[in-house]
Structure 1
Amino acid sequence: MLLPGHGTRPEDLLDVTLEDWQRVVQEQADALRRDVAQVYLGGFSTGANLALDYAYAHPDVAGLVLFSPADPLYGEQGSLRICWNGQDEPALMACERGEPVWYSDWGYREAGKVHARLTFNPYFDWQGEVIAGVMGGSDPHAGEPPMETHRVPREDDQEGSHAL
């Protein structure tokens, strides 16, 4: 399903509320229950958070498939990291020992650096400030990305890796 305001024009998000999104998740879960015996929910980013929130309130949800949820276990301050990132065995072991890592997309390698999977949005706080500025009528360009996040350009695309 596509959440109201998503996948269209940015201004379509102006009149959408969290409650609108929660209502749509409820409606879709109810529709799914009419067709199957066990309900599994999934989502990406905001959708993952909505599915998780719904499952907390509905213990009959059989399982979740969550991609990039806001999860305090992962990310810059998290206690867990995904070390299998397509790198060689010594780098994998260094990550698992808790050595400093660079967070990056799957398979990204750079000599002399240990990479863990990028499981969080390093610009989340900054993006939230920009959105709050737009919604509040202030200058949306006033915020800056957090200083501890560094963008390293990649040759094959512009995604980059993020250092911690």
Structure 2
Amino acid sequence: GEGYAVHVLLLPGHGSKPSDLMLSHYEDWQDIVDHYALQLKKQYNKVLLGGFSTGANLVTINAIEQGGVDGLLLFSPGFETFSPFVERLAPIFATFMDWGWKAEEDNLARYRSSPINASIAYSESAQYVRDLFESKQTNVPTLIVMSEADSVINPHAIKGYFDSNFTHASNRFIWYGESIIEDDKIITKSMKLPELRISSGSHMSPLFAPDNPYYGKKGEKRMCGNSFNPSNTRRCEEGESVWFSAWGYSEEDKLFARLTWNPYYSKMEQALRLFLRN
């Protein structure tokens, strides 16, 4: 209803079976993003690129290297994990690991298995972004959305890159967490929401509305595997009352499942509309 043409890209190796991720590489992902971004730039006067996690890396690289982008929408961008050194070890692990992590596929929206090839492709995209950030800035208007309790990506590192490498006056950062940040460009929202049984945001939670039929508040999918504790997973799967958080989060006397939806989704939509109009 806002008048935008929206195109969504399925990266090679996705949307079929996890083993297909063993066939694709970082360059394949970047090439297809660059190819379709170029088509959009030829077709439309204004083009904004968006991405989640690794996808945010790919569109940021395109904006910096290829140009012609009028805005970036980055959700839980994967510029840097908590252990960038470990990222670089993925190719070494591949020399003695045939496949990676295999798990039962019981999620309609994402793979639970994690082929080592996909980890390498992510790591290469993240390193490429960080290498670009060492010498380049971007004046493309950018909106970043992420959770402070993200168990995958280092949110404070992302904020550092936002401060130093994204220079446009219209930039905005929506920060779901407890830190008090005095910056007009940063919107903070607490994720300590006991009335909703929420203790923290997660890597994926910014993306989904409370009424999402699969991941939402009353959606059919509950992600019980939220730690390495099989007893907790079993209790969750058996229907015991749970709280919601990022992976690995714990509090005494509380059982946690993954938070898969955004309690501030409508406010995020409002911020997104305002960003786009400006």
Q: TM-score per shorter chain, which class?
A: 0.5 to 0.7
Residue 65 to residue 83, structure 1, CA distance change in 2 (3 Å)? closer
Residue 71 to residue 119, structure 1, CA distance change in 2 (3 Å)? farther
Structure 2 residue 194 is the aligned partner of structure 1 residue 96? no
Q: Deviations over 1:108-150 (max 9, x none)?
A: 5359xxx664458xxxxxxxxxxxxxxxxxxxxxxx8xxxx84
Runs of 4+ in 1 over 6 A off after TM superposition: none
Q: Deviations over 1:63-96 (max 9, x none)?
A: 10111112459754716496555xxxxxx6xx31
Deviation for aligned residue 1:62:
1.0
The residue type paired with residue 39 of structure 1 is: V
Residue 83 to residue 39, structure 1, CA distance change in 2 (3 Å)? closer
Distance in structure 2 (CA, Å) of the matches to 1:61 and 1:152: 41
Distance in structure 2 (CA, Å) of the matches to 1:82 and 1:34: 31
The residue type paired with residue 55 of structure 2 is: G
> SS of the counterpart of 1:41?
strand
- Give the 5 Å matches for 1:5-24: 5-24=13-32
Which residue number corresponds to residue 38 of structure 1? 46
Distance in structure 2 (CA, Å) of the matches to 1:13 and 1:84: 31
Distance in structure 2 (CA, Å) of the matches to 1:33 and 1:83: 30
Deviation for aligned residue 1:8:
1.5
Which residue number corresponds to residue 249 of structure 2? 151
- For normalisation by structure 2, the TM-score amounts to 0.34
- For normalisation by structure 1, the TM-score amounts to 0.54
Deviation for aligned residue 1:25:
0.7
Distance in structure 2 (CA, Å) of the matches to 1:39 and 1:22: 17
Deviation for aligned residue 1:60:
2.1
| Percent of paired sites with the same residue | 32
- Give the 5 Å matches for 1:105-116: 107=191, 109-110=193-194
Deviation for aligned residue 1:48:
1.0
The residue type paired with residue 43 of structure 2 is: D
Are 2:46 and 2:69, in contact at CA under 8 Å, matched by a contact in 1? yes
Distance in structure 2 (CA, Å) of the matches to 1:97 and 1:29: 34
Residue 76 to residue 24, structure 1, CA distance change in 2 (3 Å)? closer
Are 2:49 and 2:73, in contact at CA under 8 Å, matched by a contact in 1? yes
Residue 31 to residue 77, structure 1, CA distance change in 2 (3 Å)? closer
Residue 13 to residue 34, structure 1, CA distance change in 2 (3 Å)? same
Structure 2 residue 71 is the aligned partner of structure 1 residue 63? yes
Long gaps (5+) in structure 2: 1-8, 81-145, 160-172, 183-189, 205-227, 229-246, 260-278
Residue 97 to residue 52, structure 1, CA distance change in 2 (3 Å)? closer
